[in-house]
Every structure is written in structure tokens, then in C-alpha cells.
């Protein structure tokens, strides 16, 4: 890779934008974003829906000008691997030396009767909750007294229900599982989340499956959500929060290896050595993380990989007597930390000896802060269900709606759930993310307000 390398990034979400910012000072980068907006922090969409932030507040830091081009509202439709060219829906084509797929994920549309009408278009009043357009459409619909039904009680559905309730809507949350956020929390923690939502006026139904949508005969807009037992919930709008799946269509059409996500190795490289993938679309060592922390860590790791390659090529150019290109300004050495763009720094994978930088996986907490009056913070990681021989430390405060539990195996944390007013996860987060031994203090100290800091 020479100093005139052309890197094209498809996808201007959090991972793609982070990568473009890291590479812009040293490479010719083109960032293709399908949405018309500047890159934004998708994690904060619920804050926009609740009315606490304007859309401009969640914009990410801009990609530095100069050798970087950010193209908004441009959809990539085909990858020509032989010609190393990306073809776009607007008729343009962009050549690359290295291509990065940061295509993210699509919302899962549940198999409900009445979802796919009008040639595959969702009925009026039916919204996923994945993009800023989704968020703005919901915000325009939801007002005091609006009847809103949220289908799905995972992290996304809980966030949407809370935000809609804060806008004054009459919200019903329907979840097929036995407890809310059952992918991340144990039943006791899920029960506290339910109580928190019910205190806000949200009507919660668990072990309850939505079967179909009812439509207004004159407008074809949604008028109700039909449950499996035949009961119909009146609805002015319905939110589909049934999870996401990796967006892999471009990769599949290009002949790349795809399983659950686009398969990548420790250099974030796909089955084509000139194409990499990061974020929600990528599958590393059999895992699709689907969380922002992993997407950002992968973007930082790939920045280190590509700038390391650039440094190697620069050395080769100097050995051959060629004029040097620009030195990388953002390549991080071992043990360095990327600039903080959110509440916590994300470690950058540094050079790994003669094999160069590597990404070896992410150990991150899943965090959700339900802001506003009566802030409620959720943090979950690892395996919250203990195995025989594990140590379990648990604290519950029904009065304050707080719940804290960690599972320790030997001298390592293997899982935990924290709910309530958490100023910081502190030492608990560091021990988990770094796979470090738990602090020498008594285990109960891990569950104090500041996480043992």
C-alpha cells in the first residue's frame, strides 16, 4: 500500500465514520453513506425520540477535510472485485485499493400479517427504530395521547417505549419472552426494568406474541396490533423493535464468505485480501457483536492494520530511493489509547510484532441509560447465569429499584448485571474488559456505588 492508496468505506455509521476519521490524515478516503445526514451516534436515537436532544446534537465529529471525501445519500449497489470498483445507485463508480464494508445491520421485520403491504412498503404508522429517519418519523407521529404499540422488549424496544412515554404517548410494550431484555438480563433484573417502565405508564405484556396488524380501511394506516390470542390493541403507530441482522447483501453478491455476518480474520480481512469489514455486518471468530463498543474497537483495530501497512510500504519506498509519502499521524503503538469520543476511551490494537496489529475480539459491557426524570442505568456483560462452583454476589434494593449481581469463576468475572443509578461501573468494568483478576477487596465491594473505584 503506497502513500497514494485509495480506501473506500461503504457505510457512514459509527464504525465507518470512525475509521474514515482515523485514516483521513494519511490516505485518500472516500466514505459512502446511504443516509442524507452527516454521520451520527445511533446509540443516542432514543434521546432524540424522547425530545431531549435535537438531531444535530448526536452528530459525530466530522471527517477531516483534505484527502477525504464524504458522500451522503449515495447507495453502493455492486462491488466489482476484479476491477476493484464500487458501483453506486446514482450511476457513479469509485475505484479502490482497499475496500471496507461497514454496512451495519437491518431491522428484523417480524412475520406479522399485514406488515408487507403496498408492494413491500410498511403501512403508514408502522416504523422500525434503526435510523434517524425512523426516529424523526416516530417523533412526528407520537404526541400526548397517541396510542403506540412497541413490538419487542429487548434493549431497543425498552429504549423506544421509554422515549415514547416521555413524549406523552400511551405506550403498550409487547414481548414474546418471559422477561424484558432477556438476552442481556436475568429474570430478576428484567422484572425491575418492567417496573421502571410501568412506573412511567407503559403497559407491559410479556409471554405475549403479536400475530398481525389491523389497518384503517380508508387510509391503509395501522389501526391496531392483533395478538396471538385474538385480542387487538388499538394503535395509532406501531414500532417494530424485534432485533437486527447483519447487512450482508453486497458481500454475498460479490462472492465473499458470509455466514451469519461477513467473515473476517484477525486483520479484519474478508475472504478477498483487498476487502475488510467492521461493525455490525462483520463476523469475527464466529461472533457478530452487534454493539457500538465492538464496532468502534474494530474500526480502531483496522486503522492500526492499514496504517501499519502504509508504514511498511513507506519503508519499502525509502529503501528503493523513492520520495516518502506522508507519515501516519494516527497509528497507535502498543498500549496506546484512541482519542475519547464518547464517555470512555476505546483501546487501540497496537502492533503485534512481526505479524503486525491484530483484532482478537471485544469484551464490552452492554449499557443503556434511560435518562430523564428518575434516571435508570443498565449494564450487563458475559454470562449472568452461574455454573456449579461459581461464586455469585448479589444485592437488591427494592425501594430504590436497584439490582446488582456478578458471577465470579476462580479469580475472573464471567458475567454480571447492574441496574439502578450507576455513576460509573468503575473497577468492575476494567476487570471485565481487560479480563483481569478481580480486585483483592471482598467481592461485595465490587457492588458498591462506584464499582469498586
How many helices (DSSP H) and strands (DSSP E) are in the chain?
8, 25
For cell 413491500, what's the residue?
120
Mean of all residue pLDDT scores within the chain? 85
pLDDT 10s digits, 380-410: 988 888 999 999 988 888 777 788 898 999 8
| Contact partners, residue 67, CB within 8 Å, separation at least 6 | 24, 25, 27, 28, 29
- Among 27-31, 76-80, 354-358, whose mean pLDDT is lowest? 354-358
Beta pairing class for 93-95 and 85-88: antiparallel
- Residues 69, 217: Cα–Cα separation, whole Å: 47
pLDDT 10s digits, 202-261: 999 999 999 999 988 767 789 999 999 999 999 999 999 999 999 999 999 999 999 999
pLDDT value at residue 340 = 31
Percent of the chain's residues with pLDDT above 90: 62
pLDDT 10s digits, 264-280: 999 999 999 999 999 99
Beta bridge partners of 39: none
Predicted confidence (pLDDT) at residue 299 exceeds the cutoff of 90: yes
pLDDT 10s digits, 339-381: 333 333 333 333 333 467 899 999 878 888 776 556 678 889 8
- Residues 318, 124: Cα–Cα separation, whole Å: 61
Cell representation of residue 41:
451516534
pLDDT value at residue 421 = 66
Predicted confidence (pLDDT) at residue 334 exceeds the cutoff of 80: no
Amino acid at each position: 500500500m503506497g502513500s497514494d492508496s485509495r480506501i473506500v468505506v461503504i457505510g457512514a455509521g459509527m464504525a465507518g465514520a470512525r475509521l474514515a476519521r482515523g485514516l483521513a490524515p494519511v490516505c485518500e478516503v472516500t466514505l459512502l453513506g446511504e443516509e442524507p445526514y452527516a454521520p451520527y451516534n445511533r446509540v443516542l436515537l432514543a434521546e432524540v425520540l424522547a425530545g431531549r436532544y435535537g438531531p444535530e446534537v448526536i452528530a459525530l465529529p466530522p471527517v477531516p477535510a483534505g484527502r477525504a471525501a464524504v458522500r451522503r445519500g449515495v447507495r453502493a449497489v455492486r462491488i466489482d472485485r476484479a476491477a476493484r470498483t464500487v458501483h453506486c445507485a446514482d450511476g457513479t463508480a469509485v475505484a479502490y485499493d482497499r475496500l471496507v464494508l461497514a454496512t451495519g445491520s437491518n431491522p428484523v421485520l417480524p412475520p406479522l400479517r399485514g406488515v408487507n403491504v403496498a408492494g413491500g412498503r410498511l403501512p403508514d404508522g408502522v416504523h422500525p427504530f434503526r435510523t434517524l429517519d425512523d426516529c424523526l418519523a416516530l417523533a412526528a407521529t407520537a404526541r400526548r395521547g397517541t396510542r403506540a404499540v412497541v413490538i419487542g422488549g429487548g434493549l431497543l424496544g425498552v429504549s423506544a417505549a421509554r422515549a415514547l412515554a416521555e413524549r406523552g404517548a400511551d405506550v403498550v410494550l409487547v414481548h414474546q419472552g418471559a422477561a424484558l431484555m432477556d438476552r442481556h438480563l436475568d429474570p430478576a433484573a428484567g422484572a425491575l426494568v418492567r417496573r421502571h417502565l410501568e412506573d412511567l405508564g407503559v403497559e407491559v405484556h410479556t409471554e405475549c406474541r403479536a400475530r398481525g396488524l389491523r389497518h384503517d380501511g380508508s387510509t391503509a394506516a395501522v389501526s391496531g396490533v392483533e395478538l396471538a390470542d385474538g385480542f387487538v390493541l388499538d394503535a395509532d403507530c406501531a414500532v417494530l423493535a424485534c432485533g437486527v441482522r447483519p447487512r450482508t447483501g453486497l458481500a454475498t453478491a460479490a462472492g465473499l464468505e458470509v455466514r451469519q455476518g461477513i467473515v473476517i480474520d484477525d486483520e479484519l480481512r474478508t475472504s478477498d485480501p483487498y476487502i475488510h469489514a467492521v461493525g455490525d455486518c462483520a463476523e469475527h471468530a464466529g461472533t457478530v457483536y452487534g454493539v457500538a463498543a465492538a464496532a468502534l474497537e474494530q474500526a480502531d483495530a483496522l486503522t492500526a492494520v492499514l496504517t501499519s501497512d502504509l508504514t511498511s510500504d513507506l519503508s519499502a519506498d525509502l529503501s528503493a530511493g523513492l520520495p516518502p509519502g506522508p507519515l501516519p499521524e494516527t497509528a497507535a503503538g502498543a498500549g496506546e489509547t484512541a482519542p475519547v469520543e464518547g464517555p470512555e476511551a476505546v483501546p487501540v490494537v497496537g502492533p503485534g510484532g512481526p505479524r503486525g496489529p491484530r483484532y482478537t475480539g471485544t469484551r464490552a459491557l452492554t449499557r443503556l441509560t434511560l435518562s430523564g426524570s428518575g434516571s435508570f442505568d443498565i449494564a450487563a456483560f458475559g454470562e449472568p447465569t452461574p455454573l456449579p462452583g461459581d461464586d455469585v454476589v448479589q444485592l437488591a434494593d427494592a425501594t430504590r429499584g436497584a439490582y446488582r449481581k456478578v458471577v465470579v469463576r476462580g479469580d475472573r468475572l464471567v458475567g454480571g448485571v447492574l441496574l439502578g443509578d450507576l455513576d460509573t461501573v468503575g473497577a468492575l468494568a476494567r476487570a471485565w474488559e481487560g479480563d483481569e483478576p478481580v480486585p483483592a477487596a471482598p467481592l461485595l465491594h465490587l457492588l458498591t456505588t462506584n464499582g469498586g473505584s
